[in-house]
Amino acid sequence: MPTAVSLFSGCGGSDAGVIAAGFDVIMANDILPYARDVYLANFPTTDYRLEDVSEITTFPDAELLVGCYPCQGFSQGGAREANRKINTLYLEFARALSEIQPKAFIAENVSGLRRSTYRHLLEDQLKRFADAGDHGYDVYWQQLNAHEYGVAQERKRLVIVGIRKDIGAPFAFPVATHGPSADQPYFSIREALEGLPEWPAGEFCEDPFHWYYLSRNRRRAWEEISKTVVSHMRHMPLHPCSPPLRRIHTDKWEFETDAPARRFSYREAARLQGFLPRYTTHGEDIVFPETVSGGKKDFEYNMMRHRYKVIGNAVPPPMFEAVANALPDIWG
């Protein structure tokens, strides 16, 4: 079984995908305590290092390096500030790449990096990765749509893949497995949430729907794919049991009836992200620990925020599994 090191691992979306593709993730890393807690509740054998990646001085040898370094300054839903320090965490990924010199790497980021304003930072990433280590890497990148790989939501991500140059193996991104051009239709909300209760008490945000929330249509029907799952619980898309929304005028929508409406729960958000039972080591839905690291139980509202946050920030496992399976057979 080929080994992998994971950086900026969060609660394990990328790692669930590469594990499903046949890799053994021997080390993971992040700075969020609850992300680590969720990860280890579902993938308990991985050495998870809870610390700033810049403080990690040595990395274990591995054949694959995975990194989903955050770049909130480029995100469609963020402040879009290109000069924020968080946007240069790819330098730490490049450092690890130079030290480990794996046979291949997979990196993921927001699709906003393709915009002309930030393109110079994308080009810098590609150059640094291509020059890393003793041999350098043949580097490939492409925007992928998660819903084309069996994920029940709209989610565009930029994926960068590298193969070490001395290996000399080509790479091609996986073709869509779901959608009009594929053998299978899109994986719907109904399919993703099969078996879950319609009103899971205590698992969804019940805050009022404020004006910003109702500035756009956040509802999709059962047979469709969801709007993008986000990390802020108040902005989570609507569950299909909610009444439809109608447009009043620019940036203003309202419910068509007074019937009950609710956001997706954090457990449903996990399903929509692709955390299906087959992606956990125990073969069941993702486990959310009741406490934050150290045994402290935060009050219920904050525990809900922790859960929404780590799921909203995650990478869809089916998309990462598809990319990892597309890597050439260079592990022997």
Half-sphere exposure of 40 (CA within 13 A, CB side): 19
Identify the helix (H) or strand (E) that includes residue 157. strand 156-164
CA angle 256, 260, 265 (to 5 degrees): 115
**127: Cβ–Cβ under 8 A, 6 or more apart, which residues?**
none
* Contact between 287 and 281 (Cβ < 8 Å): no
Q: CA 56 to CA 58: how far, in whole Å?
A: 6
CA 265: distance to chain centroid? Answer: 17
Strand partners, 142: 159
State yes or no: is 71 an active-site residue: yes
Q: Which candidate in 11, 71, 205, 241 is catalytic?
A: 71
Give the CA diameter of the chain: 64
Q: Which tokens is 11 given?
A: 């609660």
**152: Cβ–Cβ under 8 A, 6 or more apart, which residues?**
186, 187, 188, 189, 191, 192, 225, 226, 271, 272, 274
Q: Which tokens is 199 given?
A: 């009103």
Q: Catalogue the active-site residues.
A: 71
